[in-house]
Amino acid sequence: MRLGKALSGIAVGAALAVASSACSVPGDNAAQGANTVVDGPVKIGFSQATQQSPFYVALTDAAKAEAQAQGNEFFYADANGDVTKQNNDVQDLITRGINVLVINPVDPMGVTPSLTAAEAAGIKVVTVDRPVESGAAAFVGRDNKAMGQLVGKAAVETLGPSGGKIIQIQGDAGGAVARDRGEGFKTAVSAQPNIAVVDGPYADYTRSKAVTAMQDLLQAHPDLKAVYAQNDDMALGALQVLTENHRKDVKVFGVDGLMEAVRAIAAGDQYIATALNDPNAEGQLAVQTAVKAARGESVPEFVDAGTSLVNKSNAQALVGESTFAATK
């Protein structure tokens, strides 16, 4: 996949990365029509896991903009990282008369009550960014193992034959994304026997927690050669700590392709690579898939939003192409 094409959604998202999305107001017939194939405007319920990440802010805003551009209604709820709240949010969305549910699950197993409630109401479910084992018509996201492998190969090339110790800062405990990004990375670096990967704590994909974790990790592992964080926000937190401690010798790798990370890759020699995970394209695809499902059209179980490696060779060009504002 060409990077220019992959970043097309990012350019679209420039005007979208603004304040948190607001819900539309349901009509008088909000409780009707959930069980039927929709011919007119589709009422889309979107349950987001959290807005405490620039990636998810951009994803939400892109989904809302795509829904409204098609003349559909968009009802939004932020679970704020709480699966109990997310299940309650979904119940509320169902009472608003939505025709289809798009959900980024806080916990793939913990949202089972939401999936059951949607099924009972005859509402199709599309998961985005994080999959569930069953209960959804489609999952819109990336092959997270492939993303981890891309970054892992870059780490092997960077460290060379001498290898060294890599600290992995993980996302969320029990999450499929964290598991797959970790497994993919370890599969790639296993080709170099002189590389040892040490699993660090779960930092829930947030920079502040990664900063705290990295402060402890740096003290416990002064001989580390690199840091692999399962998203760019955590990687940037690790980079902050390394910079404060004058450890420019430690290389940094991330995942997602946030523009702040891309700029860091373009500008220096410490943040080496990330795997592109464009939130704008993902949000748009999630809504497009949800609308098809609501209209009774066939949708694939997995809608791949694609990925590619961002490193020194292409980062500057991406900075020039992109106006993605979510991380400014």
Looking at the fold, whether 232 and 214 belong to one and the same domain comes out as: yes
In a domain, 172, yes or no: yes
Task: Give the list of residues 6+ apart from residue 219 with CB closer than 8 angstroms, or none.
Answer: none
Walk along the chain (328 residues) and give the pLDDT tens digit of each residue: 333 433 334 333 333 332 233 333 333 334 444 456 888 999 999 999 999 888 899 999 999 999 999 999 999 999 999 999 999 999 999 999 999 999 999 999 999 999 999 999 999 999 999 999 999 999 999 999 999 999 999 999 999 999 999 999 999 998 888 999 999 999 999 989 999 999 999 999 999 999 999 999 999 999 999 999 999 999 999 999 999 999 999 999 999 998 999 999 999 999 999 999 888 999 999 999 999 999 999 999 999 998 999 999 999 998 876 544 333 3
Q: Would the CA dihedral through 96, 97, 99, 101 be positive or negative?
A: positive
- Note whether 166 and 267 are same-domain residues: yes
Instruction: Looking at the structure, tell me whether residues 154 and 119 fall in a common domain.
Output: no
Do 298 and 150 share a domain, yes or no?
no
Q: What are phi and psi of 264, to 5 degrees?
A: -65, -40
311 domain-assigned: no
**Two tokens, residue 322:** 């992109």
In a domain, 318, yes or no: no
**Is residue 10 in a domain?**
no
pLDDT at 4: 40
Q: How far apart are CA 252 and CA 238, in angstroms?
A: 8
Domain match, 209 and 238 both = yes
- Pair 185, 152: CB distance under 8 Å: yes
Domain end point (choices 275, 293, 317): 275
Whether 292 and 257 map to the same domain: the answer is no
**Do residue 120 and residue 160 come from a single domain?**
no
List the domain range (segments joined by +) for residue 78. 21-141+279-304
Single out the residue in 237, 254, 275 at which a domain terminates.
Answer: 275
Give the model's pLDDT for residue 35: 52
Tokens 């609308």: give the residue: 291
Residue 312 maps to a domain: no
Residues 192 and 218 both lie in one domain: yes
3 in a structural domain: no
- Residue 19, CA atoms < 13 Å, CB-side half-sphere: 2
User: Are residue 137 and residue 285 in the same domain, yes or no?
Assistant: yes
Q: Is residue 175 part of a domain?
A: yes
Co-location of 125 and 154 in the same domain? no
**Which residues is 304 bridged to in the sheet?**
141
Looking up residue 57, the CATH number of its domain turns out to be: 3.40.50.2300
104 shares its domain with 123: yes
Residue 322 pLDDT: 55
Give the CB-side neighbour count of residue 283, counting CA atoms within 13 A.
31
| Percent helix / strand / coil, the chain, rounded to 5 | 40, 20, 40
Residues 99 and 169 grouped into a single domain: no
Looking at residue 320, its amino acid is G
Domain count, the chain: 2
Task: Write b or e for each residue in 113-141: b if 16 or more Cβ atoms lie within 10 A of its Cβ, otherwise e.
Answer: ebbebbeebebbbbbbbbbbeebbbbbbb
Q: Is residue 55 part of a domain?
A: yes
